[in-house]
Amino acid sequence: MTSNRLRVALQKSGRLAIESQKLLKTCGIKFNINEQRLIVHSDNLPIDILRVRDDDIPGLVMDGVVDIGIVGENVLVEEQLERQIYNKPASYTKIRQLDFGYCRLSLAVPAEFDYQQPNSLSNLRIATTYPNLLKQFMQNKDIAYQDCILKGSVEVAPRAGLADAICDLVSTGATLEANGLKETEIIFKSKACIIQSPATQPDEKQLLIDTIMSRVNGVIQAKE
Ligand code: ATP
Ligand code: ZN
């Protein structure tokens, strides 16, 4: 399954998809996205673009299935913590921080909740898609709590009686407000980044990555 073509994983659709594609195109990588296709071959360089769910990107890089990927640090660190529990490959190199995908992982409680400090959540149930990042934060503060792990609809969990609080991604806070919640604690600040697999071989691929990265640096510096 080794390929001489550089494999790059991008989010198929969602908040990072357009910016990720735009960045590669600005760096001179030519390709045409076909909505149906998982793999897109570049027209001018030995590069294959894999279009997947963002949650799959860290694992694909850590397992060496792809060489590089563009993903949010929130998803990246969550997957790394999860893999460390099970002794699965969890290493990667962050080769560039990007200037999009800004968000924060925050604790939020119903507006009427009398929140003073993280301790206010002691022994309560917290709904989240990021159980490992939440655990890290709560363990550091030595606070016991219960999990309610949901892949979606986290913000409705308190109203539905599934949890007392939530730990979810926030950008403007409008979703929280619409669900009668208030943000009480930022536990992780995130943006998109480019990560590379420790398994990248041979040298020609590394040279191509280096070329792309110097173009990425140029593109980002030009914007600053
Ligand atoms: P997928 O179908 O790929 O699993 P998703 O629904 O998990 O998509 P998106 O909502 O597209 O993911 O978000 C992808 C990433 O964009 C997040 O993990 C995060 O890094 C970033 N992001 C930036 N702003 C926000 C926000 N307001 N809410 C959620 N994610 C955000
Ligand atoms: Zn996702």
Cβ of 75 less than 6 Å from ligand 1: yes
Q: Which of 90, 61, 102, 73 is nearest to 209 (CA)?
A: 61
Give the Å distance between the CA of 177 and the centre of ligand 1. 19
The 10s digit of each residue's pLDDT in 105-154 is 999 999 999 999 999 999 999 999 999 999 999 999 999 999 999 999 99
Same domain? 141 vs 197? no
> Mean of the per-residue pLDDT values for the chain?
96
Helical segments of the chain, H only? 17-26, 57-62, 73-85, 131-140, 174-178, 203-223
> For residues 120 and 163, is the Cβ–Cβ distance under 8 A?
no
Same domain? 160 vs 214? no
Same domain? 96 vs 141? no
Report the pLDDT averaged over residues 81-95.
98
In a domain, 120, yes or no: yes
Give the Å distance between the CA of 11 and the centre of ligand 2. 9
Atom of ligand 1 nearest to the CA of 13: 3
- Tokens read off for 4: 């001489």
Tally the domains of the chain: 2
In a domain, 84, yes or no: yes
| DSSP one-letter string for 106-131 | EEEEETTS---SGGGGTT-EEEES-H
Same domain? 83 vs 57? yes
In a domain, 1, yes or no: no
Check if the interface score ipTM surpasses 0.85.
yes
Same domain? 205 vs 154? no
Residues 6+ apart with CB under 8 A from 19: 98, 100, 101, 192
In a domain, 81, yes or no: yes
Same domain? 96 vs 111? no
User: Tell me, what's the pLDDT at 3?
Assistant: 77
Report the pLDDT averaged over residues 62-89.
98
Same domain? 10 vs 78? yes
> How far is it, in rounded angstroms, from Cα 134 to Cα 154?
14
> How far is it, in rounded angstroms, from Cα 95 to Cα 210?
10
User: Tell me, what's the pLDDT at 2?
Assistant: 65
Same domain? 68 vs 48? yes
In a domain, 15, yes or no: yes
Q: How far is CA 45 from each of CA 5, 22, 84, 104, rounded to the nearest angstrom? A: 9, 16, 35, 35
The 10s digit of each residue's pLDDT in 172-206 is 999 999 999 999 999 999 999 999 999 988 889 99
| DSSP one-letter string for 179-205 | TTEEEEEEEEEE-EEEEE-TT--SHHH
Give the Å distance between the CA of 207 and the centre of ligand 2. 31
Q: Where in the sequence is the domain holding 135, given as residue range(s)?
A: 103-190
Same domain? 28 vs 69? yes
pLDDT at 43 over 90: yes
Cβ of 171 less than 6 Å from ligand 1: yes
Report the CATH number at residue 66. 3.40.190.10
